[in-house]
Structure 1
Amino acid sequence: MADAEAAGSREWWADAAVAGLGERRADAGAVGERKPDAGAAGEWSADARVVGSGEWLAADVRGDDGWKVRLGEGHRREVLEAVRAVAVRESGSVAAGDLGTVRVGLPAAGLPATELPGAELPGAEAARSKAVGVGLAGLKAGGDERAGDGAAEGLWEGYWLPTLGPVLRQVREELVGGRGFVLLQGVPVEEMSEREREIAALGLGCHVGGIVAQMAGAPVMHVRDTGADPAQARTRSYEHSGRLGYHSDPTDVVALLCVRPAKSGGLSAIVSSVAVHNEVARTRPDLLEVLYEPWWHDRRTGDEPDSFYTKPICVRREGGGVSVAYGPDYIRSAQRGAVVPPLSAAQREAMELLDRLTNDARFVLTMDLREGDMQFLNNHVVLHSRTAYEDDPERRRHLLRLWLTVSRP
């Protein structure tokens, strides 16, 4: 993994705006439709290519383990002790009647958690996830400070990682100033209960960034096949076992803790969206311009008009760089909306090109997430996918997902 001091001198990716119902948008001064480096007659110049952090090819990283961080036995014990300290406090601090009112972390760009989109969780799971999130609003990125109020007071006291904490700060630096992805290995999930695994994921995530509320305000989501039909208007991508197209999640960072892998399949694959962007700039600059224009997307909250919204796929950053927010499955499903116009010929061609490049072996790094692996991805510079999978009925694939926002300490 990149040296933390060196990473600190690189461009800070985390300040890309995260605003408005969990959607990444350009700053007010940089409208999403802005076409950078546009020449006369709207043609793009050759320097539309982006230079900076987050660009890599598969050949650059396949033989390099610098993006992997293996926890030693001391780190594993440290995590277990911290988790169990929090679990003890939680069991004595959260009454059943308080579960609907506890605070659940740091929403993106200061937005209330209730403003983030998403389907409702089953009651018991929503209550459990909210309970686990008590106190997160006072646990700042990096694990440097503690605060709280009410039931949250003192709950997370003790989740301090004196030797692992500095390693996780280097993880954050690599995410925002390096390749944009890290694989943490060896989290001792096999020695934990389900509740303790949730606490472990949240505590580790809090040392990397601030927790962003997800569906129904939950700070952690359980990723497993529920048998949901992907064709249904409210089905989310984490609820079925089918293949997922390359996409990014709506916050700075997404983290996935593997509790159990699938019986077969379920491989994670990532690409540098910066490298893909630059390949489009090199080969089809006319289509690159299309990616900076507004596209219709689907929140999958139902069939009403507010399930559909527009944003560009690519947004130029002030000072250089690009943030790429792509999700072909959600763009295509948006076509069902009565307010959504058909994709233009140029948009269809741009999607075909993106889908071809993101599946090109030159760009793809595959990870077979195993028990105890925790994957961190910078959504601005990395797109991720998953192959279809088959479950063992007795040991179903199970991951825990966090959404994180990162800011300069």
Structure 2
Amino acid sequence: MTTTVDLSPISGPSAWRGDELATSTDWIYEVSDAERTELETLGRRFVADDPDLRTVTGDDYPLDACTGLIEECARQMDSGRGFVLVRGLRTEEYGDTLAGAIFYLMGLHLGTPMSQNQLGDVLDHVIATSDKTLDDPTALPSRVRDRLPFHSDSSDVVALMCLRGARAGGASSLVSGTTIYNEILRRRPDLAPLLFEPWHWDWKKQDPDAPSNTYTSPICGYVDGIFSTYAGSSMIFSAQDYPEVPRLTEAQIEVLHLFDEIAQQPGLPLDMDFQPGDVQWLLNYAALHSRTGYVDFPEPERRRHLLRLWLRRDVGRPLVEGFGKNVVKARGAEEQAPKPGGRFRIADAVVPNYDWGL
């Protein structure tokens, strides 16, 4: 395994710019009639069977007509742009339970669903359940309406299905980690090597049940010619609250601010306005994600509502040891244990838990 830091610009399909992709629809996969019919048929069977979401597998619901769809999603995540938007599902006709079943079935064929919260839920929600803002340290990013900073999630793959959009705003924003790195290298080649060094990340504030206050990971990795990123500067700065964590140097602070500044540079991010039925698949090591602020409809049943999956996906991607939040992905055995309050049947799981994340 070769992990030599590459201080040359990284090329390839993952090095994209949003202003260039916005002029095409190459990143959108329109489902065919045959694919839609198969997903609807299997989704109805899934609802009728009512399996435990923690133990059901893709082998229980084999796909035939959708083989090309799954292969294209996998290809784009693993060796392409790092993401794909699937469009054409008629969620407004299905109801949330069938829509959630179809989403979960697709996920089973692209990875293994992970627990996403202290309740052990493997299907979670992005929906505003309070009027808090991110200025409130108790606010959960997925449950507020603020614009989110660009970041990586605690999984190999993060996927979103749009059930209902916002009254205004709420665009999903993606940016290429490769392009950010190339721009840092162009502007400040003296700071770029710092991204490959280990950083301390706040674990306790992400997961109150975490076994330690922090974990460590580089922000960038380059192994066997494959470039990967893992980002979220707020958790690095938050780790400074713990006295055992080394203080950030001026150069480290400078490169973190530069990384965030470039991520928001006009022309680099790609904003996509979700339509009901849209499904976004994203490899966390290739692209970072965010969301613009939004305004909800006044009626609770019309609120912006996305379903979210976190997946483990082992495709043999070479990563430096300890890259990303791998400590979470290693806790598979714990996730199978029953947890009070968790929702592990599809009809229950598609309903947001308004008693959690307030």
- The TM-score range, normalised by the shorter chain, is 0.7 to 0.9
Is the Cα–Cα contact under 8 Å of residues 133 and 145 in structure 2 kept in the other structure?
A: no
Report the counterpart of residue 220 of structure 1 in structure 2: 123
The amino acid across from 2:38 in the alignment is E
Is the Cα–Cα contact under 8 Å of residues 78 and 315 in structure 2 kept in the other structure?
A: no
C-alpha distance in 2 between matches for 1:267 and 1:368: 5
C-alpha distance in 2 between matches for 1:340 and 1:86: 47
C-alpha distance in 2 between matches for 1:388 and 1:338: 34
1:265 matches 2:265: no
- Superposition CA RMSD, Å: 2.4
- Give the drift of 1:342: 4.1
Aligned to 1:392, the other structure's residue is in SS state: coil
- Give the drift of 1:212: 2.5
Report the counterpart of residue 316 of structure 1 in structure 2: 222
C-alpha distance in 1 between matches for 2:254 and 2:315: 38
The amino acid across from 2:281 in the alignment is F
Report the counterpart of residue 328 of structure 2 in structure 1: none
Moved more, 207-216 or 243-252: 207-216
Percent same amino acid at aligned positions? 34
C-alpha distance in 2 between matches for 1:294 and 1:194: 42
C-alpha distance in 1 between matches for 2:62 and 2:218: 40
- Give the drift of 1:303: 10
Is the Cα–Cα contact under 8 Å of residues 35 and 289 in structure 1 kept in the other structure?
A: no
CA gap 1:82/1:305 in 2 versus in 1, 3 angstroms: closer
C-alpha distance in 1 between matches for 2:198 and 2:80: 29
- Give the drift of 1:233: 5.0
- Give the drift of 1:59: 3.9
1:36 matches 2:5: yes
Aligned to 2:190, the other structure's residue is in SS state: helix
Report the counterpart of residue 98 of structure 1 in structure 2: none
Report the counterpart of residue 49 of structure 1 in structure 2: 9
Q: Which has the higher helix share?
A: 1
Report the counterpart of residue 55 of structure 2 in structure 1: 135
Q: Which runs of 5+ in 1 are unaligned?
A: 1-28, 38-46, 94-130, 140-145, 147-156
Considering only CA atoms, is the larger Rg found in Structure 1 or Structure 2?
1
Aligned to 1:84, the other structure's residue is in SS state: helix
Is the Cα–Cα contact under 8 Å of residues 51 and 321 in structure 1 kept in the other structure?
A: no
- Give the drift of 1:72: 3.4
Q: Which runs of 5+ in 2 are unaligned?
A: 317-358
Report the counterpart of residue 396 of structure 1 in structure 2: 303
C-alpha distance in 2 between matches for 1:242 and 1:199: 29
C-alpha distance in 2 between matches for 1:265 and 1:178: 28
1:239 matches 2:143: yes
C-alpha distance in 2 between matches for 1:209 and 1:60: 30
The amino acid across from 1:316 in the alignment is Y
Report the counterpart of residue 68 of structure 1 in structure 2: 28
CA gap 1:274/1:35 in 2 versus in 1, 3 angstroms: same
Report the counterpart of residue 150 of structure 1 in structure 2: none
1:201-220 paired onto structure 2 within 5 Å: 201-215=103-117, 216-220=119-123
